[in-house]
Structure 1
């Protein structure tokens, strides 16, 4: 665990996981309402195994440190209460502090789950220094038809999610062509292998799309070398043969 200091002086913990080689960029993993528990740490380790520096800020530290809740009803109630006590603005402040702390390590992305998905979606337009954001089944996102993206944003939803009805997802997608939205035949928390709602197939597909998206946005697309590129570049293109004026490649009807 490491410590990060927010702009208002609040010091909070964060779980950090590093890749074995050079980093492709930074992934800030945003927690569910259950704290930075084993699932969130596992996701951070998984991103690190793919070559990213991964860090999961403990967003509940403003109220209570070391929070790791289970998935029973009592834990859900406790987690939601902590969410209310922390507040949206304090969560944004701590996310900004985390991004600032790691901005020197490369391009930074947010990946959030559940409450963290909602925070990632909103932070994409509020937090400075981001390259992209990815949100998994963030409740409340589909109610927003107004925000246009400042950075590319990828969303994952389950079509059988009882908290985010498919009818709302359909309306949301129709009104938000600025977003990349993927849907899976699964319920809420389908990417958490510690819960009975886990769907391996859907989770695997979402992971593939997330990894492709992050690699492209943080590391960049692979370089493409064109045939004879060097010779053409050295001549400034001056040695390119001109076609006779009578020859046209535009496939327009003959005059």
Structure 2
């Protein structure tokens, strides 16, 4: 489906990509949160994969003109680490819009990649999501406090991801203390962005990034099984 506009914070609108399953709904929904590069081909492909599995998947564009180009990108990154900012209102607006559709059951999950993985954790603790799937996302330092009240979590990380060293362990410990159902896995051979295909793979692999087929496929297997249990 082509891009559309959905509600955003403050009565404005945000661009989004919607992937719809074949057949007749209603279907459970998933809010798909972008990586640092925005809503590109990779993220749309993730939404399409969720739709093929029977989920109504919407991907809001978190980089909006409201912030003014580069300033908006910087503001979104600050929100990921500070846990504050209008981007959270935009994510909630996407969830509410999706849940309110006639072809949606109203039961909504959230999945994020890289930057979006961090937002998938924080938003899941604040809003009425039924399951969260952060992929190589930032885990807050005070995870136990920031994630209180979170829904079940299926998280995936790469052992070669130097930028998130200690994050999967911190997430596992916090969710254990909070008594949250979880499936957290770190893939030994994978680095950051192991779900993503890049044009310059040979350039980014030395940086601990890039597609890893084995890790990606096993992570998707776990995510879809987890969503099947909690969103059905």
TM-score w.r.t. the length of structure 2 is 0.80
Partner of 2:218, secondary structure, is helix
Query: Match for residue 90 of structure 2?
Result: 94
Separation of aligned partners in 2, 1:37 and 1:79: 17
Q: 1:206 to 1:144 in 2, by over 3 A?
A: same
Query: Match for residue 18 of structure 2?
Result: 16
Does structure 1 residue 46 correspond to structure 2 residue 42? no
Query: Match for residue 250 of structure 1?
Result: none
- Judge which range, 97-106 or 142-151, deviates more: 142-151
Q: How many residues align?
A: 206
Unaligned stretches of 5+ in structure 2?
Answer: 202-209
Query: Match for residue 217 of structure 2?
Result: 204
| Structure number with larger C-alpha Rg | 1
Q: Name the structure where helix makes up a greater proportion of residues.
A: 2
Separation of aligned partners in 1, 2:174 and 2:9: 36
Cα drift, residue 215 of structure 1: 1.3
Query: Match for residue 176 of structure 1?
Result: 175
Cα drift, residue 194 of structure 1: 2.5
Separation of aligned partners in 2, 1:204 and 1:142: 29
Q: 1:119 to 1:168 in 2, by over 3 A?
A: closer
Q: 1:201 to 1:96 in 2, by over 3 A?
A: same
What aligned pairs does 1:12-161 form with structure 2 within 5 A after superposition? 12-23=14-25, 24-61=27-64, 62-63=66-67, 81=74, 83-84=76-77, 88-104=84-100, 105-106=104-105, 107-127=107-127, 129-141=128-140, 144-146=143-145, 147-161=147-161
Separation of aligned partners in 2, 1:27 and 1:169: 23
Unaligned stretches of 5+ in structure 1?
Answer: 66-76, 220-255
TM-score w.r.t. the length of structure 1 is 0.73
Considering only aligned residues, what root-mean-square deviation do their CA atoms show, in Å? 2.4
Cα drift, residue 141 of structure 1: 4.0
Q: Answer yes or no: is the 8 Å Cα contact 1:142–1:172 preserved in 2.
A: no
Partner of 1:201, secondary structure, is helix
Provide runs of 4+ in structure 1 moved above 3 Å. Answer: 77-80, 84-88, 140-143, 167-172
